[in-house]
Structure 1
Amino acid sequence: MGQPVIIQIENIYYPILAVIGVPANLVTILILSRGSCGLSKCITHYLVAMAAADLLVLIFEVILYEIKDAYFPYSFLNHTPICSLNLALLFATIDCSVWLTVVFTFDRFVAICCQRFRAKYCTEKTAIVVMAVVCSLCVLENVPIYFIYEPREIIDNVPWSCYVKSSFYTLPIWITFFWLETILTPFVPFVLILLLNALTIKHIVQANRVRNGLRGNNWSENHNDPEMENRRKSIILLLAISSSFILLWMVIFVFFIRVQFTDTQFLEANYNDSFTIMEQSGYMLRCLSSCTNTFIYAVSQSKFREELKNVIKCPLSLITNLIK
């Protein structure tokens, strides 16, 4: 009997995602680190950190978990201690990716809406401290993940694969931990991102109305207004990143809600069940969110496009010269 359709799709989808996503994030880190995209150091640090977190998600979830299970089920990476460590790092990197998106959204909210606080908060030093604190907390929060797994089977006294302990679903301490994990990712980030974006958009609309009134609603003059142009670029970048995150996380977000209030559990083996298919589709979309920012930057930032073209041209020129 052949594999379920959703598994066949995953076996093709995840390798393609890794082939596209890993180079895309590496190129993004390279381009942004040069500081030639016309962005402030504060924004650049956030975007580089987000790209690095997305790269780690692709490594730990897509390559070392999904692809490994599909194509190398009996590699040394499937020994229970290594498997447990990879899963703990997997969830830690997902949390880092999510919360870096939140703190970036908050930084842009402060920069656009809180002029008095902006000078103190939107700095390179603050960005580095905030990112360090967020990533450290994400790692510490996911340390218990390592201890919730037991061997799925033991072959020649070697524990293989990872299976969630039955006590995880019954002991109060683990139930509390699971609720805390679910609340922190993805519920709170969803609410914060939606709220901050709504407040930012409201502030920009009001500020633009005031500015238009002061300038006499002269379209050509406003069209060349550098401050309004900067605001437009900021809001396009912010909304593109935030909207991508919300859309690609929406399916798994809905599934998390279902798990909390019904008898549905994660990773059930019935791949013909509609909610299992929904869960697996949610994981695929969540992983896709780890390689979309590069394309968002390419579409919304002209200087990033120029740098990207230069990066692509460089190896092509070397190959052409070698052939000649």
Structure 2
Amino acid sequence: MTDHHQSTRGRPRVALVTCAALPDLDPDDRLVLAPLAALGVAAEPVIWDDPSVDWSRYDLAVLRSPWDYALRRDEFVAWAQTVPHLVNPAEVVRWNTDKRYLAELAAAGVPTVPTAWVEPGESWVAAAGSGEYVIKPAVSAGSQDTGRYDLADPEHRALAEAHVARLSAAGRVGMVQPYLSAVDTEGETALLFVAGPDGLTFSHAIRKGPMLTGPDRGEAALYKQERIDPRTATPEQLAVAERVLDAVPGGTGSLLYARVDLIPGPDGSPVLVELELTEPSLFIGHADGAPDRLATAITTHLP
């Protein structure tokens, strides 16, 4: 890891922002280092909450894997506002790190997974026999604190209510969503976009296999392991992704990247599960040319 004060002899300096648990970046993120070097950019991993870092020494700070922010979201948002040249920018971080943005996008006409929101202090009772549901906090990363519950099962109903109560007791907003069964067969499709000369440009797509096998047991993990495969995006998926991006407050002109996660809804049409604009895995190791496309996108954001 490069020392924060090492001279780069005039080359642009880019901080690839990570967390203490991943001081050398996620392996997928490391794939952008060589293409950046080939473009004359000195890039290095930097831990977001390291108090010794002088962020003004970097020409650009790129959010990559600061995945420990979920329980410190206010601190993380405040930190983002202090970084001189951050992508994606601090106002996007504030909006996108609370999944209540889904309600805004739904109100704007974007097809989204139906979501019930449970505020801290509110009670929630699972309806017996109402199918499978996913419960998670409105602020989370890497599927942390996320569980799948079959409300026809009395044990699952009790665990679901305990999950919501646990979030509430911690002052966290809970989300309750129907489990979309198509994820078990079709998987989830993530569409990746990176900055180009005319704004965000589609780069590639991947398939994520099902991850949620049952209730959340309160086990601590930075992120859940995923089964990832390349996927060809359909015209319908691309059209929904464009609708999602068109609804982003303030537009997408300031964005370096975006990830749009879709699952087939009950009628087979794609619906938005999450719009990742803060610290998404970009899966650049799963598409030819993707590391180079991301490196080039980063150079477009250099001052």
Structure 2 length as normaliser, TM-score? 0.25
Q: Which has the higher helix share?
A: 1
Relative to total residues, which structure has the larger strand share, 1 or 2? 2
Where relative contact order (Cα < 8 A, 6+ residues apart) is larger, the structure is 1
| TM-score of the superposed pair, with normalisation by structure 1 | 0.24
